[in-house]
Amino acid sequence: MELSYYPGCTLKTRAKNFEDSAIASMAALGINLKEFPRWNCCGAVYSLADDDLIHQLAPVRDLIRVKEQGQGKVVVLCSLCFNTLKRANLLMRNDAEKRGTLNSFMDEEVDYNGEVEVVHLLEVLRDDIGWKTISDRLKVPLKHLKLAPYYGCTLLRPQEVAIDQVERPTILHQLLQALGAEPIDFPFAAKCCGSFQVVGNREVALESAWNILSSVVSWQAEALVLSCPLCDFNLAGKQEELKQKYREFKGIPTLYFTQLLALALGLDSKICRFELNYQDPQPLLESKGLL
Amino acid sequence: MDRRIGVYICHCGLNIAGTVDVAEVVRYAGTLDSVVIFRDYRYLCSDIGQELIKKDIKELGLNRVVVAACSPRMHELTFRNACQDAGLNPYLYEHANIREQCSWPHTDRELATDKAKALVRAAVRRVYYHEPLEVKEAPVNPNVLVVGGGIAGIQAALDIANGEHKVYLVEREPSIGGHMIQLDRTFPTLDCSECILTPKMTEVAQHPFINLLAYSEVEEVSGFVGKFKVKVRKKARFVDESKCTGCGVCEQKCPWKTDSEFEAGLAKRKAIYIPFPQAVPNVATIDKKLCVYFKTGKCRACERFCEERAVDFSQVDQTIEVEVGSIIIATGYDIFDSRLMPQYGYGRYDNILTGLEFERMTSAGGPTGGRVLLKNGKEPESVAIVHCVGSRDKNYHEYCSRVCCMYGLKYAHLLRELTKAEVYEMYIDMRSFGEGYEEFYERVSREGVNFIRGKVAEIAADPVDGKLIVSCTDTVIGKVLRVCVDMVILCPALKARSDTEQVAKTFAINQRADGFFLERHVKLDPVATPTDGIFIAGCCEGPKDIPDTVAQASAAASKVLSLISKGRITLESAIATVDETRCLGCGRCEETCTFHAPKVVAKNGVMVSEINETLCKGCGTCAVVCPSGAMSIRHFTRQQVTSMVEALTEA
Amino acid sequence: MRVEVSSEKISGDFAKKVKEISREDILLCYQCGMCSAGCPIAFAMDLLPNQIIQLVQLGLEEDIAKSRTIWLCASCLTCSVRCPRGLDLAKVMEALRLISLRKNIDYIRLAEISHDALAELPQIVLVSSFRKHTA
């Protein structure tokens, strides 16, 4: 099966480990993620201003590209891109006036009326493939691995784009269980990592990250599982600085869920590009005999 | 016959006259066919206004009357009665609504006046075709059905039974008592709930005029006010009620356990059980779903040990049919499931309880013997009480559940009395509206309780010591607080029972948007429903405390007693009628009617439809489906309706 | 210290602008504080989100401008999904930021970010922070 795929900027560079492991593991599960041509940056965040439509142009253009390919569905991996594209899509579906304005402004493009479905990779894993199929295809069950699944904000909020229940999501927990691991239920799984504040209000973002990491450590998880490159930067990329600030923190390995999926399906660990992980999970994985 | 029509336009103070040019409408009325008198008056519904009309009827020999005023729901009956007083059949009257349908929604004087003229014209043309109708009455069966054996049902049943009328009290659980029997002490007086309720329960059990049908459910209701036929299914207890003495030996011997509904899940009960010591009736019941005998045919321990030989596995459900004249529904409430707010950790972390669970904990006869205990058996050193769980929240229930502020205060008081715990009360507003309520709030304020004005956002557990961390904003000082406590008590919303829709269908009553049963008028008729003869009382009508529940129960009882006292009801006169010369006997009317009024019968060798006038509600459905036009509704004949349409569409 | 409250302030340009950009009915807030209690950044804010809303209700623009709160908001939407009155607080915060940003006053300046910092920041961080904190 082939599905149209939107990578977004960061997955092509800093988060190539996320993309490569995703594409490889989906291929192993029989799904070819095909990047559609001429995609553009979606803008990363969805504009919350009701009176200004200029920021909707970029994500809507991407959706038009998908429509032009004759595709009814597009799979997104980056959480922020998913949120932005899906919200822009709902805007085009539900607001007739804004839809008219945007379509007539982009007169060089075909009209777009929300024909495309925007889904996240986790939804494809849950709904199109199914946890049982994944479990059945495991080559390397991730036994004795205590993992803290971290969702971040943009997969769950607002309600209309949520891929799972907002207050107590379980989709990542279920994936980890299907992979044979032990998901740890810690209370801050959906608490914001600090997001873009790491640029404008650095200290604040560091402390937000620390609030989450200290909870993960106190609940005795062995590694943190991430689903977003921005969360990765805050929760993994800043760990060295946090170790300086909070002496009791020894750091915690981090991985993308797709890297775990690739490993569990028996793919070569090289495809996971662990060298790009801010916090190397390889020593932990080796100690569990998973590499 | 010559029509002599009187037309009266009401000013209704400025309600109508402020927008509509009444003088112009009156002048116009006088130009219409057959109108012999046309007047206006400031308040036609007043005695003087009505006298005007009555005088004209008598002195001018009017045989048709039109009043253009407020909604017919307000005063159609008033003016019909006035006509009747003056010797004119009340159905020779027509009411035009030029207030709710004209002066109130519109602002343009000219257009509103034109519309009022059109409405008057339509009424005058219609009334031309009105015929006098007979007003018939039917007797009211003095028996009463009360559905629900909680405090509301118990009170209503006792009030009616004390008037020496027979009451069938149907209760779905094995015992009456409802939720109130689960409560410990009731605010603000801190009376022991069981102590004040059990005497009433005993009274019900012993009352010669109350037929208690416990462990029973209403299956089907048919008929109408004064004459309802009700099918009640008495579920099999597998215990002979006449033999069981309530000794409890069977319960001791039974090896099978499940969560006790009465103890709100804090303790277990057996497959054969008496829900609580003061149960009425005080007989055992076997839970068929849990009892191993019904699955494998083995065990039968209860049967072996019962000295009275009361256990009877061969029992079957019985259907009992009763006839009553009126019904009171008092089915109570359910508690909001706090797991729907996962951020509060209910069901996920230990030592987070709902209010009902805490009631059982502090009850002397409860699972902990009245002691407030954590899961590890120790007493808590700190407790947080969280208000508005699922209430006042667009995401769950928008309404306020009314009782939680008061029982939240009650828990604070009990905790300070029974333990040395630090108590935190997190609230948004303190609603202490009733008698002695504000005083109780002040009393609790003196007991060292920490009040924090903020709705709790999250509750998490500390992974090391299991302490609960409650996050809330103190909105007064503008700080976000993290309060570490041993125990949390949640105040969940009171919501409509999960089967409210089903029950509403069975009794042909309606639900409000918030899920509770719909009352006839929220202020002026809160215990009646739009369905004549069916009343509602207590929390099934919306969350409320015990005083209000008891007041509503007695109110519903008084409405019923009033019906019984009069002994007869007025039947709807505007009902279906068959033109037998046109009727084909096709039976479409009989198929469509939900009240089973038409029946195709043989008359002089021809099959024609016949209407049971006591069942017909005049809804008009049969007239619509009748292919030959034989069926029409009195007072809504084709001629009457089309004359209105033509009048309104005239330029 | 007394604060002058007048209908000019409450229904003035500021209130109109907030309404125009966010389309939210500010007066709905009944000050339960659930937003602030769940806000992941509240620990660093001088004025809490529920206090900001109250200030908007009264049209006290200057107090909001003196506070860092609206710039610390991460648009995580935790407040919006939980508000019992259904108020989308994140949209109000965005409107408050935009009122300032549209005057061409950036909160962060590209020139002030060091080369090293720029090198380490992934695009997703740079683009999102520029979208929220600059005109």
Average pLDDT estimate for B271-282: 96
Chains that touch B (3 or more CB pairs under 8 A): A, C
- CATH of residue C66's domain is 1.10.1060.10
Task: Indicate the SS3 state at residue B579.
Answer: coil
User: Taking the mean position of all CA atoms in its chain, how far away is CA B270?
Assistant: 34
Domain of C29? 7-103
Chain C: residue nearest B483 by CA? Answer: C37
Q: Do residues B213 and B237 lie in contact, with contact meaning Cβ atoms separated by under 8 Å?
A: no
- Whether A49 sits inside 8 A of C94 (CB atoms) is yes
Task: List, for residues B554-589, the tens digit of each pLDDT value.
Answer: 999 999 999 999 999 988 899 999 999 999 999 999
B463 contact residues in A (CB cutoff 8 A): 186, 218-220
Domain identity same for B190 and B316: yes
Sort out which chain B residues have CB atoms less than 8 A from C83's CB and list them: 394
Calculate the dihedral angle through the C-alpha atoms of B96, B101, B106, B108, rounding to the nearest 10 degrees.
-20
Share of chain B above pLDDT 90, in %: 94
Mean pLDDT (chain B) is 95
Q: Chain A residue with minimal CA distance to C24?
A: A50
**Contact: A157, C131; criterion CB under 8 Å:** no
DSSP collapsed to 3 states, chain A: CEEEEECCCHHHCCCHHHHHHHHHHHHHCCCEEEECCCCCCCCCCCCCCCCCCHHHHHHHHHHHHHHHCCCCEEEECCHHHHHHHHHHHHHHHHCHHHHHHHHHHCCCCCCCCCCCEEEEHHHHHHHHHCHHHHHHCCCCCCCCCEEEECCCCCCCCCHHHCCCCCCCCCHHHHHHHHCCCEECCCCCCCCCCCCCHHHHCHHHHHHHHHHHHHHHHHCCCCEEEECCHHHHHHHHHCHHHHHHHCCCCCCCCEEEHHHHHHHHCCCCHHHHCHHHCCCCCHHHHHHCCCC
On whether both B81 and B229 belong to a single domain, the answer is no
Q: List the one residue out of B114, B552, B25, B584 whose CA is nearest residue B332.
A: B552
Task: Parse chain A into domains and list their residue ranges.
Answer: 2-121, 141-265
B201 lies in the same domain as B163:
yes
| Whether residue B158 sits in one domain with residue B292 | yes
Look up tokens 């919303």; give the residue: B493
Tens-digit pLDDT profile for residues C8-32: 888 889 999 999 999 999 999 999 9
Q: What is the pLDDT of residues B140-153, one digit of tens each?
A: 999 999 999 999 99
Which stretches of chain A drop beneath a pLDDT of 70?
Answer: none
The CATH number covering residue B602 comes to 3.30.70.20
CA distance A223 to A100: 48
Question: Is the pLDDT assigned to residue B18 strictly greater than 90?
Answer: yes
Q: Is B599 exposed, middle or buried (0-12, 13-18, 19+ CB in 10 A)?
A: middle
Q: Which of C88, C107, C71 is nearest to C35 (CA)?
A: C88
Band (B129; pLDDT cuts 50, 70, 90): very high
Dump pLDDT digits (tens) for B479-532: 999 999 999 999 999 999 999 999 999 998 999 999 999 999 999 999 999 888
The answer to whether C58 and A139 have CB atoms below 8 angstroms apart is no
Q: Among B566, B586, B621, which residue terminates a domain?
A: B566
CATH of the domain at B29: 3.40.50.960
Count the residues in chain B: 651
Angle at B354 between CA B349 and CA B357, to 5 degrees: 105
**Structure confidence at residue B30 (pLDDT):** 95
Q: Is the domain of C80 the same as that of C128?
A: no
Tell whether B511 is covered by a domain: no
Q: Do the interacting molecules here have an ipTM over 0.95?
A: no
- Give the nearest partner residue to C127 out of A41, A51, A159, using CB atoms: A41
> Model pTM greater than 0.90?
no
**How confident is the model over B204-209, as a mean pLDDT?**
98
All residues at 6 or more sequence positions from C69 whose CB lies less than 8 Å from its CB, including other chains: C45, C46, C47, C48, C49, C52
Which residues make Cβ contacts (< 8 Å) with residue A228, sequence separation at least 6? A78, A79, A80, A152, A154, A155
Residue B224 is predicted with a pLDDT of 87
Q: Are residues C28 and C41 in the same domain?
A: yes
What CATH number is associated with residue B348?
A: 3.50.50.60
Tell me the shortest Cα–Cα distance from B512 to chain C, in angstroms: 20
- Whether B619 and B581 have beta carbons less than 8 Å apart is answered as no
In a domain, B571, yes or no: no
Same domain, B314 and B348: no
Number of domains composing chain C? 2
Q: How many CB pairs under 8 A join B and C?
A: 72
C1 within some domain: no
Tally of structural domains, chain B? 4
Nearest-10 Cα torsion for B82, B87, B92, B93 = -10
pLDDT tens for chain C, 135 residues long, are 888 888 888 888 999 999 999 999 999 999 999 999 999 999 999 999 999 999 999 999 999 999 999 999 999 999 999 999 999 999 999 999 999 999 999 999 888 888 988 899 999 999 999 999 998
Burial class (CB in 10 A: 0-12, 13-18, 19+), A202: middle
Contact A186 B343 (CB under 8 A): no
A 10 A CB-CB count for C110 gives 10
| pLDDT of B1 | 67
| Predicted pLDDT of residue B329 | 98
Residue C2, in any domain of the structure: no
Closest chain B residue to A184 measured between Cα atoms?
A: B463
Contacts of B393 in chain C (CB under 8 A): 84
d(CA B16, CA B112): 10
Mean pLDDT, residues B64-81 taken together:
94
**For residues A85 and A87, what is the distance between their CA atoms, to the nearest angstrom?**
6
Is 3.40.50.11810 the CATH number for A141-265? yes
Instruction: Tell me, yes or no, whether B199 and B311 share the same domain.
Output: yes
In whole angstroms, give the CA distance from residue A255 to residue A268. Answer: 16
Residue B647 inside a domain? The answer is no
Task: Flag whether B233 is in a domain.
Answer: yes
The model's pLDDT over B211-262, given as tens digits with 9 standing for 90+, comes to 999 999 999 999 889 999 999 999 999 999 999 999 999 999 999 999 999 9
CA distance B264 to A119: 42
Print the domain residue range for B204.
144-332+533-566
A2-121 CATH fold: Glutathione S-transferase Yfyf (Class Pi); Chain A, domain 2 (1.20.1050)
